[in-house]
Amino acid sequence: MVDLAKIRKKAKRAATSPAPDNRQPTTDDAAARLEAFLSTAGQKRAGVVEEPSPAAKDEIELLTFLLGDERYAIDIDAIAEIVSPRPATPVPNAGGDIAGIISLRGSIVTIIDIRARLKQPSRTASKETRLIVVRDRGGLLGFEVDRVLRPARVARASIEPQPMIHPAEESYYIRGVTHRENALTIVLDLAKLLE
């Protein structure tokens, strides 16, 4: 049962007691809150954003891949995606190291034959063959590799100059070499390779 007498008593007490402070904030309050916000704006919140360690700044992330019997690596930052190979449409009057063009989700990708640039023998595609698509000066370029290996972080200091075996050896595209997983990996200069 509802006791109407108790309800009336509560309503009477509420009417006679001072009202809580439900007033709208004044312009002074709003200005103070804005000033407090602006004083902390742009500052990093503790625990939300981690600062990279000094060692991480001296590292580079490379994508390693196989081309023939050689192991190569490129800087992973320029890579747009890695896809299965597809037939390229030849481009009339293109250079000998341009394999053609493909359409990738509405974007035109120029396919470069890096085997020719790196003086590697041609090979037929296998089920592990992949097309690495990279961003270059606002466009997309791609090249076919025999197999993509996993990305790896290496210290910039661990990339050594390429040892010269023969004076006629092609080294224009090579940035250096690094020793990883009991194998030498040739680090390519992607900007020069895609010129």
- The residue extents of the domains of the chain are 54-193
CA–CA gap between residue 171 and residue 51 (Å, rounded): 37
Residue 39 clears pLDDT 60, i.e. is over it:
yes
CATH class of 54-193: mainly beta
Q: Are 30 and 46 in contact (CB under 8 A)?
A: no
Average pLDDT on 50-69 reads 76
Average pLDDT on 15-26 reads 58
Per DSSP, 132 falls in state E
Q: Give the tens place of pLDDT for each residue, 67-101.
A: 888 899 999 988 889 999 888 988 888 877 888 89
User: Where in the chain does DSSP place strands (E)?
Assistant: 59-67, 70-75, 79-83, 98-104, 107-112, 130-136, 139-145, 147-155, 174-180, 183-188
CA–CA gap between residue 93 and residue 125 (Å, rounded): 25
